[in-house]
């Protein structure tokens, strides 16, 4: 990526601190119950697991899981294939470059919060051939079919990506059902939203940065989807803003674990019972870092709104409904260039109540 230029430099208030605050007390949840036929039908044990998930979602917005049922060999194989891809010359990687017309493939100039990220990525859909709205304009009824772009080398990359995606998708459904139960809902209450899901997977590569005190691998943000299932190598870099005091804390990598982020959609579905966690990625001057997030997202035509079972007169809906596919299309528009306005966020659909009356803070029509 060469020497750093001003496009990478964060505003002073958003630059990473030079002192690391190690994460303490982050929920670490053992999912072995779900993969053991001798204990999976134990209602008391399941209730305990559901309670752990609920506490983590409410108090942290993220947690780590172990004994999750995904073979460690799948992740190691994908990390190796991904590294082989990122080691290719830039002109080779750009043969499968993504753009505003095709948002899948290689990219090295992504922006977060209108500042360029110190990273390069390779994006693909969990379900090849996914359909989504062509634009975020409500009057535009055209749809776009998304086709994964696969490089010629390394030849094992496609198979490694597809097999990994199938297995992490199964884990994502298990987590979704646990979250549903933790809200007092039936286990499969959310599953119907994912019949034609637009889940995606990203290979992240963070090269060493000559001035890590000025730049970020990924700027501060919240994930807009339902859940993010993140795998990472042994190089730390993920930081999460702790809700208790707003401090940025470093998440220590645990071998063969996954970090689970509650996304904005779960925040809206839960009507703010759960809140998505703000996070960022710091870089260093000595070691490259790799991570693989699986973004578990519902179908493009899903209308996102608080679940009706969770709202009543005492706890009214806190969000105006919006179309997920159009929301995502508008969010991705800010990935390719610096915008003069804030990127679309769920707070733009927030409803504020004053006594018996309410005011809808909504500047977008996504229906």
Instruction: Specify the fold of 6-349.
Output: Jelly Rolls (2.60.120)
pTM: 0.90
What is the reported pLDDT for 367? 52
CA angle 301, 302, 305 (to 5 degrees): 145
pLDDT digits (tens, 9 = 90+) for 187-210: 999 999 999 899 999 999 999 999
Residue (of 89, 70, 72, 90) closest to 80 by Cα position: 72
Give the model's confidence band at 134: pLDDT under 50 very low, under 70 low, under 90 confident, else very high.
Answer: low
**Strand residue runs (E) in 283-362:** 289-296, 303-304, 322-323, 351-354, 357-360
> Distance between CA 328 and CA 344 in Å, rounded?
9
Structure tokens, 174? 């298990």
Residue 139: pLDDT over 80: no
Residue indicated by tokens 């097999």:
163
> Distance between CA 98 and CA 119 in Å, rounded?
15
Structure tokens, 204? 């992240």
**Averaged confidence pLDDT in the chain:** 88
**Strand residue runs (E) in 234-344:** 238-241, 248-250, 258-262, 279-281, 289-296, 303-304, 322-323
pLDDT digits (tens, 9 = 90+) for 30-82: 999 988 776 667 788 899 999 999 999 999 999 999 999 999 999 999 999 99
């Amino acid at each position: 990526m060469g020497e750093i230029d001003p496009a990478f430099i964060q505003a002073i208030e958003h630059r990473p601190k030079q002192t690391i605050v190690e994460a303490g007390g982050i929920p670490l949840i053992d999912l072995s119950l779900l993969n053991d036929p001798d204990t999976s039908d134990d209602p008391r044990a399941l209730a305990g697991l559901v309670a752990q998930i609920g506490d983590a979602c409410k108090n942290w917005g993220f947690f780590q899981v172990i004994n999750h049922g995904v073979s460690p060999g799948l992740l190691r194989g994908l990390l190796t294939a991904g590294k082989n891809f990122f080691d290719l010359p830039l002109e080779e990687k750009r043969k499968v470059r993504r753009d505003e017309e095709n948002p899948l493939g290689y990219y090295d100039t992504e922006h977060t919060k209108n500042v360029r990220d110190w990273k390069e990525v390779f994006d693909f859909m969990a379900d090849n051939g996914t359909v989504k709205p062509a634009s975020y304009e409500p009057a535009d009824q055209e749809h776009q079919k998304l086709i994964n772009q696969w490089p010629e080398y390394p030849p094992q990359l496609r198979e490694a990506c597809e097999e990994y995606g199938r297995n992490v998708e199964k884990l994502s459904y298990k987590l979704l059902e646990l979250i549903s139960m933790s809200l007092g809902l039936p286990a499969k209450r959310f599953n119907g939203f994912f019949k034609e899901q637009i889940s995606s997977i990203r290979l992240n590569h963070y090269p060493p940065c000559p001035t890590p005190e000025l730049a970020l691998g990924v700027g501060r943000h919240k994930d807009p989807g339902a859940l993010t299932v993140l795998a990472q190598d042994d190089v730390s870099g993920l930081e999460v803003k702790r809700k208790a005091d707003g401090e940025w804390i470093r998440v220590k990598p645990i071998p063969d674990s996954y970090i689970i982020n509650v996304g904005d959609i779960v925040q809206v579905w839960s009507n703010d019972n759960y809140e998505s966690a703000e996070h960022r990625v710091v870089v260093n001057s000595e070691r490259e870092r790799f991570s693989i997030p699986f973004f578990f997202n519902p179908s493009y035509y899903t209308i996102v709104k608080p679940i009706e079972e969770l709202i009543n007169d005492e706890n009214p809906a806190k969000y105006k409904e919006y179309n997920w596919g159009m929301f995502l299309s508008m969010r991705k528009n800010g990935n390719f260039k610096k915008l003069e306005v804030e990127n679309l966020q769920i707070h733009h659909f927030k409803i504020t109540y004053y006594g018996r009356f309410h005011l809808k803070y909504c500047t977008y029509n996504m229906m």
